[in-house]
Amino acid sequence: MLLKPTHSVTTLYWYRIVGVVMQNQVNEIRELIERRDSKKAEVAIAKLLRLDMTKEEEFILYILRVRTRLISGRLSEAIQDWQTASELNPVAESEPKFLELLGDCYLARFEMAAVGFVQKMDLREAHQIYQRILTLNPDYENSGWIYYQQGRISLTEGQSHRAEDLFHKALFSPSSLPALTAYCYERLGFIAYYESRQPEQALIYLNKAIDIYPTSEPRLWLVQVYLLRSRVLRESNLDAAIESARMAYDLAYSQNKTLSAESLFTLSELLSVNNGREIEVVDFIQQFIQVSKAPVGVDVTWSRAYEMLGDSYFAMRQYAEAITSYQNALQYNPDHPWEETIYYRIAKAHYQQQQYNEVVDNLQVIIGDSQDYRVFNLLANAYYGLRQFKQAMYSYQTAINLAPSGINIETMQMYYQLSQQMNPPL
């Protein structure tokens, strides 16, 4: 998931109602928020809220805490704080700066909701708040951000054409956010690639996002841009795709475990289709496993990671390690859509170690539904190695019957005949 761009709502407009000492303390808190140090900011706000102060001063602190909790992801509490602030000073309900902050909280709460508990109501609430700002304040100084947020809502609802229009509108609307233009180009790149199937146009947008992103802004936001760029490049320029993923990993390394894991996984996927780079794949997947939290149940990402690990070990002739990895792939995804191929690869690894009984055991799991001649050929080879020539003969015959046209079946025919000779009729 893309790191959500954020911005700060200025409170300088309200400084006229507080004293100099309070202004200095508010400035310190605002600096902490700008540095995204939400823990220290919240501690400082809590200390001030214990003191006697006017409603106006208390209002400012609650608005600051809304911002702090938006950053830290405590969104329900942030919304409650906003409601408390509006009770202290009803002007918040009509002032676009503060309505904007509330809309951001509702949208963030929708996006961060656990799967199965997503509240569409939050999305509608955010949309209504943003629409109210644009209706009542068409010349709002930060309307670019509002259009951008509306575009993200439209994209979430599957309205990609409307989202595209809103992102273009955001590009040409006023905003106090230095990085807004980069944010818009990133989303336009996303739409061009995933919705419009225009990879060349997507690259143009993503390159613009990277080039114009302000150096003063947090670098972690660029991680997902580089990862998306690597996906776009995958079909046309694998080396450039790998380099883009490396850039993402370099930015995420030691800064964010979630983004580091995603970058490592992407690198592994890209390198896994590049023969001869198995050592790198093994290294990156092992790092992915180290920095990620092991899932409790089914997890298709971890299943895919172990599948790639198994393929790399197999190519390196480390067959025992390959078997363990493939088994882990099935453990994390018991309903694997390519379950047959995983069992087949496990059987091949056993065959390379002359563990013929294990080959038969694994292939028996899938043999009933298989129409793949290779499965029956491998089964026949294992039976032949076990000197169970009758079973080998029947399996070779099935493999020959299932082999598509154009496949060389001479070797299978030869071993079929040998099996017949070793198993003469009674």
As a whole number, the mean pLDDT across the chain is 91
Kindly report the number of other CB atoms within 10 A of residue 260's CB atom: 22
Residues 113 and 1 in one domain: yes
Place of tokens 């209504």: 128
pLDDT value for 199: 96
How many structural domains comprise the chain? 3
Q: Residue 199 and residue 239: Cα distance in Å, rounded?
A: 16
pLDDT value for 259: 94
Give the residue from 140, 169, 201 where a domain finishes: 140
Residues 347 and 308 in one domain: no
Residue type, 222: L
CB 151 within 8 A of CB 167: yes
CB 238 within 8 A of CB 273: yes
Confidence of residue 14 (pLDDT cuts 50, 70, 90): very low
Residues 325 and 356 in one domain: no
What would the pLDDT profile of 340-372 be if each residue is shown by its tens digit?
A: 999 999 999 999 999 999 999 999 999 988 899
* CA angle (71 as vertex; 66, 75 as ends), nearest 5: 55
Residues 356 and 328 in one domain: no
Residues 362 and 328 in one domain: no
Which of 204, 278, 267 has its CA nearest to residue 239? Answer: 267
Residues 354 and 320 in one domain: no
Q: Residue 217 and residue 66: Cα distance in Å, rounded?
A: 21
Does position 250 have pLDDT exceeding 90, yes or no?
yes
What would the pLDDT profile of 218-248 be if each residue is shown by its tens digit?
A: 899 999 999 999 999 998 999 999 999 999 9
Q: Kindly tell me the sign of the dihedral angle through the C-alpha atoms of 116, 122, 128, 129.
A: negative
List alpha helices for 157-256, DSSP H.
160-171, 180-190, 199-212, 221-233, 238-252
Residue type, 207: N
Place of tokens 């540095």: 35
Does position 1 have pLDDT exceeding 50, yes or no?
no
pLDDT value for 5: 62
Q: Is 339 exposed, middle or buried (0-12, 13-18, 19+ CB in 10 A)?
A: middle
Residues 331 and 380 in one domain: no
Q: Residue 170 and residue 101: Cα distance in Å, rounded?
A: 17
pLDDT value for 36: 86
120 lies in some domain: yes
What would the pLDDT profile of 291-321 be if each residue is shown by its tens digit?
A: 998 888 899 999 999 999 999 999 999 999 9
Residues 241 and 109 in one domain: no
Give the residue from 337, 364, 389 where a domain finishes: 337
**Structural domain harbouring 377:** 343-426
Distance, C-alpha 312 to centroid of its chain: 23
CB 226 within 8 A of CB 249: no
Which of 325, 237, 234 has its CA nearest to residue 278? Answer: 325
Residues 235 and 367 in one domain: no
pLDDT value for 24: 84
What would the pLDDT profile of 131-146 be if each residue is shown by its tens digit?
A: 999 999 999 999 999 9
CATH code of 375's domain: 1.25.40.10
Tokens of 232: 């776009």
191 lies in some domain: no
Q: Which 8-state DSSP code applies to residue 176? A: S
Least confident segment among 2-6, 57-61, 332-336: 2-6
Give the residue from 86, 120, 140 where a domain finishes: 140
Produce one character per residue of 73-109: b if its CB has 16 or more CB atoms within 10 Å, e if not: ebbebbbbbbeebbebbeebeebbbbbbbbbbbbbbb
308 lies in some domain: yes
Q: Residue 367 and residue 354: Cα distance in Å, rounded?
A: 20
pLDDT value for 313: 97
Q: Residue 149 and residue 189: Cα distance in Å, rounded?
A: 16
Residues 249 and 373 in one domain: no
Q: Residue 31 and residue 317: Cα distance in Å, rounded?
A: 56
Residues 369 and 244 in one domain: no
213 lies in some domain: no
Does position 118 have pLDDT exceeding 70, yes or no?
no
287 lies in some domain: yes
Average pLDDT over residues 162-170: 98
Residues 281 and 368 in one domain: no
Tokens of 399: 């493999």
Average pLDDT over residues 161-171: 97
Average pLDDT over residues 266-281: 92
Cβ partners under 8 Å of residue 307, min gap 6? 325, 326, 329, 342
pLDDT value for 145: 97
Q: Residue 347 and residue 153: Cα distance in Å, rounded?
A: 48
183 lies in some domain: no
149 lies in some domain: no
List alpha helices for 253-409, DSSP H.
257-272, 278-291, 300-315, 319-332, 339-352, 356-364, 373-385, 389-402
What would the pLDDT profile of 20-76 be if each residue is shown by its tens digit?
A: 567 888 889 999 998 889 999 999 999 999 888 888 889 999 999 999 999 999 999
Higher per-residue pLDDT: 93 or 344: 344
Q: Residue 137 and residue 173: Cα distance in Å, rounded?
A: 13
Per DSSP, the residues of 119-172 read -HHHHHHHHHHHHHHHHH-TT-TTHHHHHHHHHHHHHHTT-HHHHHHHHHHHHT
309 lies in some domain: yes
CB 171 within 8 A of CB 177: no
Which of 319, 374, 299, 314 has its CA nearest to residue 341? Answer: 374
53, 236, 249, 274 from 270: Cα distances, Å: 58, 12, 13, 7
